């Protein structure tokens, strides 16, 4: 049964059409990823589903009694009550039950006091009170305080913080509180608009596991490619040709869309070639009486010929960094750094860090640990209390922070803002940089005050990238970007040959860029030379109490072993490691070999499918398409087996380590 149905929905904002006869159906258990560039109507579609946006034409049908929960990007919450009270009272129906119970108990007390009620009336009221208590008990079993506290803990709230007044929470923590309330309510349809924007890495990991177990229907907007892939089983894409639906996750959508484009392009080329051939024949023999019948036949064929429209292409963020000047080897040197805000101590113990030329360092950790504070101190935006921060001689620093998008000159145009960042740049270069960040033509003359949050973020990034320097400092650079722009920014930053230090909770961005990780936790900064996955495993162990943070101390010396005993122990350890890891490593290697071979075959098939002549041969075309689909299915199976085997291998390595 469908929970929400949108049928031929049309929506205008002024003279701009957002949706043209768009249709969408949401059913029980649907796990939908909603994608599209900023401004394409993703948030508007969620507002239509929840009933907060009027439509110009079409119908929206919601099942009787369906409960829809919505997490918008911007929220407004009044103070005056505690966080736990907001969550517990957010479930529809609880207030009504409490009010009914209070009224019935008052009525029972009153007629008992008056002494003029008959036994039947007293019995009826007593049964009603008992029934209400039973319903409240049932309600509490499903929506109890213990479950609310567990959700709050998963989202990063510390014990006792549930009693804090909502007015004391920052915007990011309020957003977490609203998300906790929605998860606690368990609505039939859950609408999530960039839910990970205000979550740190551990909270994203917890939320990912929670959402995997969600049995209801949800629609998810996210710029985190990995999070989207983990959660969804259907992609609804806002394309230029309309609202499209594709089975599978984001990776399968990319493959299916590319295949559609290839097939359409091939058909369009074939039809164009046939149209040209028929037109030449008509033009050549139109005046010859003995060819009149043949000419008329071809004219009718031209009239009957179908038209194939290839998909339109949207502009995407595209930019490659020029080579930077060679710098000193030691780009950043931090010694004995401490920082406090009044009584709030951020870094109590002295922090010592070094950044070498060309490194790309991802700063991660829970919210409030000091990630942004550390970056701002390196950038010189705020002072530190003690210690030294030394930037290497000749290093030019470029800095992007989330709040920079809101500190742009609102009365200046996009062109003026970017041009001021590089006054020696030619007008052509400034326009080229604006175009790289999807501001072309008259768009560059728009003033900052009329831009959306995502557009302002792109302006701030363009301002940085036109003069990036040899050291880039970036705080959550993907937070206000759509998925395609986030991916494009990661690709662009991978071409940067300078030094990059960035704060992010976007796992895809960190995996793409980071060569080293700084974990900010408990007033210190730990360096992880390993991968993000190794960091995530470490965090999971800590949260379950099976591990302890890495201590920057020297271990006590152990008694010296004799050489024979040491060699025997090392040999036993190697044997144990080989017996545990050998079969798994072999299995992973074999799967990688098979995947590589299949991917190579798919590249050949894709090249053949892009050849228009293939579509002249029906048998060949059918075989190619069938082989392509069979190989795609096999690749999906092999990739799934590889992921499982790799997880087992990583787990085994971690245990042995």
Q: Whole-angstrom Cα distance, residue 112 to residue 530? A: 73
- Residue recorded with tokens 């949260």: 543
What pLDDT, on the 0 to 100 scale, is given for residue 572? 65
Evaluate whether 42 touches 238 at the Cβ level (below 8 Å).
yes
CA distances from 448 to 138, 434, 464 (A): 53, 13, 16
User: Confidence class of residue 277 from pLDDT cuts 50, 70 and 90?
Assistant: confident
Task: Say how many CA atoms lie within 13 Å of 85 toward its Cβ.
Answer: 10
- Residue recorded with tokens 């990661």: 490
Q: How is residue 206 written in tokens?
A: 């917890």
Looking at the predicted structure, is the pLDDT value of residue 647 above 80? no
CA distances from 563 to 554, 558, 569 (A): 24, 14, 10
What pLDDT, on the 0 to 100 scale, is given for residue 475? 92
DSSP strand pairing (516-521 vs 386-391): unpaired
Domain 2-90+160-252 has CATH 3.40.50.300: yes
Please state the domain extents for the chain: 2-90+160-252, 94-142, 330-543, 595-657
pTM: 0.66
According to the 3-state scheme, what is the secondary structure of 515-555? Answer: CEEEEEECCEEEEECCCHHHHHHHHHHHHCCCCCCCCCCCC
DSSP strand pairing (242-247 vs 234-239): antiparallel
Looking at the predicted structure, is the pLDDT value of residue 76 above 80? no
What pLDDT, on the 0 to 100 scale, is given for residue 243? 93
Q: Whole-angstrom Cα distance, residue 598 to residue 595? A: 5
What pLDDT, on the 0 to 100 scale, is given for residue 23? 95
Per residue in 611-639, pLDDT tens? 667 667 778 877 877 787 788 778 778 87
CA distances from 112 to 115, 117, 122, 124 (A): 5, 7, 8, 13
User: Confidence class of residue 396 from pLDDT cuts 50, 70 and 90?
Assistant: very high
With residues binned 3-state (H G I as helix, E B as strand, rest as coil), the percentages for the chain, rounded to 5, are 50, 20, 30
End-to-end CA distance of the chain: 50
Burial (0-12, 13-18, 19+ Cβ within 10 Å), 579 = exposed
Mean pLDDT value across the chain: 84
Task: Supply the DSSP symbol for 610.
Answer: T
DSSP strand pairing (68-71 vs 189-193): parallel
Looking at the predicted structure, is the pLDDT value of residue 534 above 50? yes
Per residue in 165-206, pLDDT tens? 888 887 788 889 999 999 998 999 999 999 988 888 888 889
Rounded CA Rg of the chain: 31
Tally of CB atoms within 10 A around 385: 13
Average pLDDT over residues 469-496: 89
Containing 102, the helix (H) or strand (E) segment is helix 94-114
| Order of strands across the sheet that contains 16-27 | 16-27, 2-13, 57-62
What pLDDT, on the 0 to 100 scale, is given for residue 28? 93
DSSP strand pairing (234-239 vs 68-71): unpaired
Evaluate whether 189 touches 49 at the Cβ level (below 8 Å).
yes
Q: How far is CA 294 from the centre of its chain?
A: 59
What pLDDT, on the 0 to 100 scale, is given for residue 202? 81
The phi and psi torsions of 496 (rounded to 5 degrees) equal: -75, 120
Tally of CB atoms within 10 A around 627: 14
Range 530-551 burial, b when 16+ CB lie within 10 A, else e: eebebbbbbbbeeeeeeeeeee
Per residue in 104-137, pLDDT tens? 888 888 877 777 667 777 788 888 888 888 877 7
Q: Whole-angstrom Cα distance, residue 70 to residue 190? A: 6
State the alpha helices, DSSP H only, in 370-452. Answer: 371-379, 414-421, 427-436
Q: Whole-angstrom Cα distance, residue 166 to residue 403? A: 23
Containing 372, the helix (H) or strand (E) segment is helix 371-379
Burial (0-12, 13-18, 19+ Cβ within 10 Å), 49 = buried
Evaluate whether 317 touches 438 at the Cβ level (below 8 Å).
yes
What pLDDT, on the 0 to 100 scale, is given for residue 563? 57
CA distances from 250 to 191, 224, 268, 447 (A): 18, 11, 27, 35
Average pLDDT over residues 339-366: 90
Task: Supply the DSSP symbol for 381.
Answer: S
Looking at the predicted structure, is the pLDDT value of residue 559 above 50? no
Per residue in 565-607, pLDDT tens? 656 666 666 666 666 777 877 887 888 788 778 877 877 877 7
| Identical topology for domains 2-90+160-252 and 330-543 | yes
Evaluate whether 159 touches 188 at the Cβ level (below 8 Å).
no
What pLDDT, on the 0 to 100 scale, is given for residue 445? 93
Longest C-alpha distance within the chain, in Å?
114
Please tell me the CATH code under which domain 330-543 is placed. 3.40.50.300
* Strongest mean pLDDT among 397-406, 414-423, 446-455: 414-423
Task: Supply the DSSP symbol for 410.
Answer: T
Burial (0-12, 13-18, 19+ Cβ within 10 Å), 517 = buried
Q: Whole-angstrom Cα distance, residue 487 to residue 494? A: 11
What pLDDT, on the 0 to 100 scale, is given for residue 552? 33
């Amino acid at each position: 049964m469908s929970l929400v149905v949108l049928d031929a929905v049309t929506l205008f904002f002024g003279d701009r059409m957002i949706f043209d006869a768009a249709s969408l159906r949401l059913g029980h258990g649907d796990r939908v990823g909603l994608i599209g560039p900023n401004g394409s109507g993703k948030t508007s579609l969620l507002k239509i589903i929840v009933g907060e946006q009027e439509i110009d034409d079409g119908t929206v049908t919601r099942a009787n009694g369906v409960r829809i929960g919505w997490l918008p990007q911007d929220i407004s919450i009044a103070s005056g009550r505690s966080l736990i009270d907001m969550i517990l009272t957010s479930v529809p129906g609880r207030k009504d039950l409490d009010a009914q119970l209070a009224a019935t108990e008052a009525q029972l007390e009153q007629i008992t006091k008056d002494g003029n009620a008959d036994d039947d009336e007293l019995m009826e009221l007593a049964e009603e009170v008992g029934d209400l208590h039973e319903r409240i008990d049932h309600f509490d079993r499903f929506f109890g305080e213990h479950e609310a506290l567990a959700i709050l803990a998963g989202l990063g709230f510390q014990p006792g913080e549930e009693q804090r007044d909502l007015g004391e929470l920052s915007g990011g923590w309020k957003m977490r509180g609203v998300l906790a309330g929605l998860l606690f309510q368990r609505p039939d349809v859950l609408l999530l608009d960039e839910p990970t924007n205000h979550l740190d890495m551990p909270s994203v990991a917890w939320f990912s596991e929670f959402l995997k177990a969600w049995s209801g229907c949800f629609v998810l907007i996210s710029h985190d490619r990995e999070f989207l892939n983990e959660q969804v089983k259907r992609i609804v894409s806002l394309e230029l040709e309309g609202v499209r639906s594709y089975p599978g996750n984001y990776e399968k959508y990319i493959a299916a869309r590319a295949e559609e484009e290839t097939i359409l392009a091939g058909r369009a080329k074939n039809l164009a070639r046939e149209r040209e051939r028929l037109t030449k024949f008509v033009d050549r023999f139109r005046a010859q009486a003995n060819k009149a019948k043949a000419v008329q036949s071809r004219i009718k064929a031209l009239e009957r010929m179908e038209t194939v429209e290839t998909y339109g292409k949207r502009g995407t963020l595209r930019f490659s960094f020029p080579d930077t000047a060679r710098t000193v080897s030691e780009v950043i040197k931090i010694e004995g750094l401490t920082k406090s805000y009044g009584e709030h101590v951020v870094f109590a113990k002295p922090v010592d860090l070094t950044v070498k030329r060309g490194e790309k360092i991802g700063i991660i950790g829970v919210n409030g640990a000091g990630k942004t504070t550390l970056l701002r101190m390196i950038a010189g935006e705020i002072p530190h209390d003690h210690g030294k921060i030394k930037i290497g001689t000749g290093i030019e620093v470029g800095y992007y922070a989330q709040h920079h998008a809101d500190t742009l000159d609102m009365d200046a145009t996009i062109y003026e803002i970017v041009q001021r960042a590089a006054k020696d740049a030619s007008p052509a270069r400034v326009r080229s940089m604006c175009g790289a960040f999807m501001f072309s033509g008259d768009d560059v003359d728009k003033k900052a005050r009329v831009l959306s949050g995502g557009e302002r973020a792109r302006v701030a990034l363009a301002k940085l990238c036109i003069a990036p320097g040899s050291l880039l400092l970036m705080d959550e650079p993907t937070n206000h970007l759509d998925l395609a722009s986030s991916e494009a920014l990661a690709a662009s930053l991978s071409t940067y040959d300078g030094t990059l230090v960035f704060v992010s909770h976007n796992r895809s961005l960190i995996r793409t860029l980071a060569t080293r990780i700084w974990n900010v936790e408990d007033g210190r900064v730990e360096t992880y030379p390993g991968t993000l996955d190794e960091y995530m495993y470490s965090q999971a162990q800590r949260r379950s109490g099976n591990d302890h943070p890495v201590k920057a101390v020297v271990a006590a010396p152990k008694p010296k072993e004799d050489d024979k005993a040491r060699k025997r122990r090392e040999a036993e350890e190697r044997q144990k490691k080989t017996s545990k890891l050998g079969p798994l490593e072999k299995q992973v290697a074999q799967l990688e070999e098979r995947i590589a071979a299949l991917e190579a075959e798919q590249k050949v098939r894709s090249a053949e499918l892009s050849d228009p002549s293939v579509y002249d041969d029906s048998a060949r075309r059918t075989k190619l398409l069938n082989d392509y689909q069979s190989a795609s299915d096999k690749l999906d199976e092999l990739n799934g087996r590889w992921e499982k085997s790799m997880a087992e291998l990583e787990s085994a390595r971690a245990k042995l380590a």
